[in-house]
Structure 1
Amino acid sequence: MDKKIVLITGGSSGIGKSIGTYLTTKGFTVYGTTRNPKNYPDFDAFELLQLDVKQPDSIQKAVSQVVSKEKRLDVLINNAGVGITGPVEETPHEEILNVFETNFHGPVHMMKAVLPQMRKQGGGLIINITSIAGYMGLPFRGYYSATKGALGLITEALRMETKEFGIKITNIAPGDFATNIASGRYHSPVLEGSAYKEKYAQALQSINGDVDSGGDPIQVAHAVYKIINKSKPRVHNPVGAFLQKFSLSLKRILPDRVYEKLLLNHYKL
């Protein structure tokens, strides 16, 4: 078979760039996407296409470009996403809508755009980049957790709906990795007079510290490569530090109140 054709959203930096660069070295033909390729004039790791996951027309155009040129699309990696922090009560509603448009609706639009082609060619693989945060409601990261949790559940549903077409759908849930996500994350302001002021400010320091000291994104790229080469990939594939992955096991076995107490202690709440 010819080289597999891979499309990665959010491919200009961070985890997406690491995945694309690594797959290129393994012989894949990789297309990445970014909202504005002109911002990356010297980017040469792989081809970058213009795509905004919040604009369905932009999605259709990019997918059509790949299929027109390559006559197939083997792997979609839904990686584009944004971070958000803030108290649930005080986060501006327009920012809540934005994070759901990017982290949830965007990947859904992407999947709907590639599924007809994958059915036509008799198979394909979709990998949704969710988050370990999507398996639990984290304080002051509730909306981020909600978007990634929703994407994980859609992955489970769509995987069963498309099985008969030879299409494999799975998710990779990274823990904290050293990327530029913090610079683009929306932080609800720490408001004077807020009931959450002290605890939110404290949690914010912890959240940013976790990202800054995170692992190398190449670990996620290795996980993607392994999944592509599996005939029957698992639904859930957490990737990250031992304690972050172990936290998922604890959530499954511990009583809710005990697990909640662990989180409260971690965030000093």
Structure 2
Amino acid sequence: MENQKVVVITGASNGMGFEAAKLFASKGWQVFAGARRVEKIPTAKNITALKLDVTVSESNHSFIQSILDKTGRIDVLINNAGYGEYGPAEEIPMENIRKQFETNFFGAVELSQLVLPTMRTQKFGRIVNISSIGGDLYMPLGAFYHATKAALQQWSDVLDTEVSQFGIRSIVVQPGGTESSWGAIALENAEKNLKENSAYQPIIDSLRGVFSGSMGAGATSAQLAEVFYKAATDENPKHRYFHSFGDRSIVHIARAHPRLFLRVFKIMMNRMAKNSK
């Protein structure tokens, strides 16, 4: 137990976080898995399930302190908790926008601040921030989701320049489409945030194919957990990790050739609109 490496994973009750907890545990790591729905965190040898709401500062402090009280060390923090508060930028209530940033961005920031003193004392550590190709790409209805992921990436890059001198790295994983309930939840949120007789209803109708996964779901959560593990354990980590060449390529196009990306995206949108009729 004393020689086990310690990994902390947020958002571990489903999807990528759930699979990552199982994967790290299977490889002998001591896993501390946090989520609001603690009963849904996987139960297995080496996994300790803890209650965590990343939007509540007291919960973040209690979570990290309880881990340090048990282990005295944290080797890797994986900031995975997140969701998509989709809907028209004009119509999403400010309360929901703030919740989106608290969950996807500020929670990761606070947890990182809480583990960094220990990592500096250790003179090693790694913070793996789970963003999305949506940190560079964008689509209608996702204004605030994309904003949080872009913020997470820029913050992570700046943090890396500050902490690498202490033997710590802050790096980003950018998943693409996944076989999970994420799309269904994003669609549910988009419809919830739509006002009655909204002028934006046609956009939601045209994007149902994307949310439902009909355009191709991409990687499984288990495959993305493998990417998490590589990002956490590579001897010389990259700044960005992707599951596939396609994910890496579309991010490159969006960053280097924004007009081309927009042209291709509009073509895809038109095709989806026709298919939804």
* TM-score, normalised relative to structure 1: 0.91
Partner of 1:55: 56
CA deviation string 1:225-250 (max 9, x = no partner): 2222222211111224x433321122
Partner of 1:98: 99
Q: 1-side partners of 2:209 and 2:195: how far apart?
A: 16
Name the SS for the 1:84 alignment partner: coil
User: Does the CA contact (< 8 Å) of 2:209 and 2:215 recur in 1?
Assistant: no
Partner of 1:251: 254
Q: 2-side partners of 1:70 and 1:120: how far apart?
A: 14
Q: 1-side partners of 2:18 and 2:93: how far apart?
A: 31
Q: 1-side partners of 2:94 and 2:162: how far apart?
A: 32
Distance verdict in 2 for CA 1:211–1:121, change over 3 Å: farther
Name the SS for the 1:169 alignment partner: strand
Name the SS for the 2:50 alignment partner: strand
Name the SS for the 2:95 alignment partner: helix
Would you say how many aligned residue pairs link Structure 1 and Structure 2?
A: 265
Partner of 1:4: 5
Q: 2-side partners of 1:259 and 1:216: how far apart?
A: 25
CA deviation string 1:26-61 (max 9, x = no partner): 111111001142x34x84132111111011111111
Residue 115 of structure 1 aligns with an amino acid whose one-letter code is: L
Partner of 1:220: 224
Q: 1-side partners of 2:113 and 2:11: how far apart?
A: 18
* Runs of 4+ in structure 1 over 4 Å off: none
Name the SS for the 1:7 alignment partner: strand
RMSD between superposed Cα atoms in Å: 2.0
Residue 65, structure 1, aligned to residue 66, structure 2: yes
Residue 247 of structure 1 aligns with an amino acid whose one-letter code is: I
Residue 12 of structure 1 aligns with an amino acid whose one-letter code is: S
Residue 267 of structure 2 aligns with an amino acid whose one-letter code is: N
Partner of 1:161: 162
How far does residue 211 in structure 1 lie from its aligned partner after superposition?
Answer: 8.5
Percent identity for Structure 1 against Structure 2: 32
- Pairs within 5 Å for 1:179-258: 179-185=180-186, 186-189=189-192, 190-209=194-213, 213-240=217-244, 242-254=245-257, 256-258=258-260
Please list every run of 5 or more consecutive structure 1 residues that lacks an aligned counterpart in the other structure: none
* TM-score, normalised relative to structure 2: 0.88
